[in-house]
Structure formats: structure tokens, C-alpha cells
Amino acid sequence: MLKDLSKRKAGLAFKPDSPEAKLVVSLIMGEREKYESWDKAFMFDIVNNSRNSIDVDKMDYILRDSRQMNVPHATFNHHFLVKEMRVIESKICYPENYYMEIHKLFKSRYNLHYDCYNHKTIHAYDAMITDILLETHNKLYDFTEVIFDAEKYVYLDDTILYDVEMSESQELANARDLCKRIK
């Protein structure tokens, strides 16, 4: 995907097969062992922290999902955590007196999983979306082709539901019915 994005000139300042691109992919994938001797190996803790799971991805999705679902679960102060983190022996560390913010981070994650991600309505919604996608496969989209083509993949979003609703195709009648039930 990174290679495809760089071809589209998405503001990336490096070539797809460059060492920089390989580093970005390794950071995202959490492949710290490849760079263990690197003096900036702590960057893995920022992006994909396999050591203690405190990383910006977790902070981002907790904040975003809490806001989008309008639930007061993001009780931690990410500004404090980011501002006060330090690199010690190539690892991201936090001041001891910030233990409560770290506790709140994990409590926020737990609450989102308990109250939202694993809610029976969300599971029902996921099943209905899956059924809609199965109904539209090879009728509206060929997902086996689209998921491997970055140019097309970027358009796979909630507009699929709109496309289904607006379709007059008899083949998509079941999918349209599911869309109505979701609403």
C-alpha cells in the first residue's frame, strides 16, 4: 500500500523501495528486531509498542472512537503522556507520577471494548454489513480485485451502502433490504 501511495504522489518524500520506506513499513508492522542496534529504535515504541502497548495508535483510536460514539470513555490525558515521555536505554518511559494516566488509558480501552465494541447491537450491525458485502460481491464490486488495487481500495467506505440503496438492480434487493433494516 505504501508503494501505491508513493506512486500517487501522496506527499511522501521518498521512493517506495528506499530505506526510508522500508523503515516506515517496519515501524507500522512493529518489526523492532530488525533495527534493535539502531540508536533510534525507541521510535517503534511510539508507533507500535509491543513492549507495553502504550503507543500513539492506541491513543488515537481510543480518542477517536470515544468521540465518534459520543461516550465519555477517553478519560486519560494524552497530552501529558506525550509531553512527559522520555527515551531511556532506547525505550520510551513515563514519569512514575503519571501512572494514573497510564491506568486511565487502559481503563478507557477496557471500557470501549466492554461497552461498545462488544455490544450486541454492534455485533448485529457487523453481521448485517458482512451480509451486505457478500450480497454485493461480483454484483456491485469484485472485492477480491478491489482490495489489492490501492487506486480502487481507497473508495471502499460507507458509500457502498449508499450505492446499494440507490441501486435499482433486482440482484441487490436483499442488500437494499439490509440497508433499510440498519437505518
Q: Please state the separation of Cα 17 from the chain's center in Å.
A: 24
| Banded pLDDT at 6 (limits 50, 70, 90) | low
The predicted structure's pLDDT at residue 13: 62
Q: Cα angle at 137 between 157 and 133, to 5 degrees?
A: 45
Amino acid letter, residue 128: M
Q: Which residues pair with 93 in a beta bridge?
A: 86
| Banded pLDDT at 8 (limits 50, 70, 90) | low
With a cut of 80, say whether residue 39 has pLDDT above it: yes
SS3 sequence of the chain? CHHHHHHCCCCCCCCCCCHHHHHHHHHHHCCHHHHCCCCCCCHHHHHCCCCCCCCHHHHHHHHHHHHHCCCCCCCCCHHHHHHHCEEECCEEECCHHHHHHHHHHHHHHHHHHHHHHCCHHHHHHHHHHHHHHHHHECCCECHHHHCCCHHHHCCCCCHHHHHHHHCCCHHHHHHHHHHHHHC
More confidently predicted of 81 and 1: 81
Nearest-angstrom CA–CA distance, 114 and 97: 27
Nearest to 165 by CA among 177, 153, 152: 177
- pTM greater than 0.85: no
The predicted structure's pLDDT at residue 2: 56
| Banded pLDDT at 12 (limits 50, 70, 90) | low
The predicted structure's pLDDT at residue 30: 83
Cell numbers that stand for 4 in this block: 501505491
